[in-house]
A = this chain, B = another copy of it.
Amino acid sequence: MIRSGKRQKHFTLKTFLCYYYTNTSNNGVKLKKRFQNPSIKDIAREAGVAISTVSNVINKKGVVASQTEQKVLKALEKINYRPNIIARGLRTRSTKSIGIIVQDIANPFTSHIIKGMEEVARKRGYTLLIACTFYNTEDEKKQVDVFMDQVIDGFIFLGGYDNSPVVRQVYNQGIPVVSVDREIEDTDVPSVLIDNQEAMEKAVDYLYGYGHRKIGFVSFRFEKQTTTRNRYMGYCSGLEKNNLDYDPEVIIIDDYMRLNETGGTFEIIKKFLKKGVLPTAFTTISDVNAFGILKALKAGGIRVPQEVSVIGFDNVFFSNFTEPPLTTIKQPKKMMGKTGMNLLLDLVEKKKVDKKNIKLATSLVERDSVGPPPKK
């Protein structure tokens, strides 16, 4: 309800010029009807030029005589005018805002990506609309519609289930969209990703290099999530590459850790420990899961990395502050956000983009949670 005249309590510089008089049925007397922010009309009147001329000056369009321009500029300076984006949006169908659909804004991985996005969006003059869907595909669909109603300039889908029909639908409507950390099978849709398989393979290689031969994998289920599935694929191909057997006994896949990664993993691994079969090292799909493993291991009196090694994925900030500090695969979070947003805005602004499916490099951060396996 911004700028609703009735709630305006003070005269401000912004408004002092802008009340106007209009006929009402009140005995034909002209009454002060409402306050509002200055509009382009006020500027035009003040400068003594046409509305469209003001518009041209503001948007640096058309040709305006420098003398006229001066007049407008002067009026603009005198009156603290700000164009109404909503009104402009109604005409131009652009509101300088980007909708971001994310699973969980409080997740330390995604929140850093968003931070990167926010940074470039703001720098380029766009505003961020954010909605969280908590892995609810229906909600995601609904939220897309809500954003459509708001008339946004573009979409970013950040992480979560593939849910490509929704992305596709947006894409098909000709709305700029990029998928970040979400692998859509069709590569028409612009994307910013990492090579999840290669990254996880790197982790297995690293563990193998330390002498590990019985390497576990812990994850939630990944039928609907290609990113995660590809990490699993990387785990498998890493095994294969190093001639290691695929051992279902040390592969723990359970959806219980889906929405409560750390706590869920903790429980699952604690239970797993009771079985008495132990890999010499754990791989997992994210740091927040690794934290749960670490804690369960500690609770079970198992030392890391002396008895069991653990390697994470993401390189979340807190990986540096666990005990021991977590060795992990680093995803360039902020860069993913920035790259994704720049790509999207280039699309929005119809700039030439030479690469619309971008893969960013990962790296391995060595800390202290991986060591050689214990000697028998």
Instruction: Check A262 for interface membership: any CB of B closer than 8 A.
Output: yes
Check B323–A150 contact: CB distance below 8 A.
no
Name the distance in Å between A78's Cβ and chain B's nearest Cβ.
Answer: 18
Q: Mark A262-283, 1 if CB is under 8 A from B, else 0.
A: 1000000000000000000000
Q: Which residue on B lies nearest to A92, using beta carbons?
A: B1
Instruction: Check A152 for interface membership: any CB of B closer than 8 A.
Output: yes
Among A57-65, A80-88, A250-258, A359-367, the one that faces the other chain is A80-88
Instruction: Check A162 for interface membership: any CB of B closer than 8 A.
Output: no
Check A2–B151 contact: CB distance below 8 A.
yes
Chain B residues near A7 (CB, 8 Å)?
174-175
In the complex with contacts A130-B128, A173-B12, A149-B115 CB distance below 8 A = no
Instruction: Check A94 for interface membership: any CB of B closer than 8 A.
Output: yes
Residue from B82, B104, B151, B298 within 8 A of A145 (CB atoms): B82
Check A1–B86 contact: CB distance below 8 A.
no
In the complex with contacts A111-B105, A129-B129, A321-B262, A84-B9 CB distance below 8 A = no
Check A150–B132 contact: CB distance below 8 A.
no
CA distance in complex: A176, B9 (Å): 13
Tally of contact residues, A, Cβ under 8 A: 67
Name the distance in Å between A137's Cβ and chain B's nearest Cβ.
Answer: 15
CA distance in complex: A295, B83 (Å): 51
Chain B residues near A122 (CB, 8 Å)?
131-132, 143
In the complex with contacts A4-B174, A321-B295, A82-B149 CB distance below 8 A = yes
Instruction: Please name the 8 residue pairs, one residue from A and one from B, whose CB atoms are nearest each other, closest first.
Output: A323-B323, A7-B174, A106-B111, A106-B115, A85-B149, A86-B151, A318-B318, A86-B89
Can you spell out 21 A-B residue pairs with CB atoms less than 8 angstroms apart? A2-B152, A2-B173, A3-B173, A4-B93, A7-B175, A10-B173, A84-B151, A87-B90, A105-B105, A105-B115, A119-B132, A122-B131, A127-B129, A127-B131, A128-B130, A128-B131, A130-B130, A262-B317, A262-B321, A318-B318, A318-B321
Chain A positions near chain B (C-beta within 8 angstroms): 1-4, 7-10, 12, 82-87, 89-90, 92-95, 97, 104-106, 108, 111-112, 114-115, 118-119, 122, 127-132, 143, 145-154, 172-176, 262, 291, 294-295, 298, 317-318, 320-323, 348
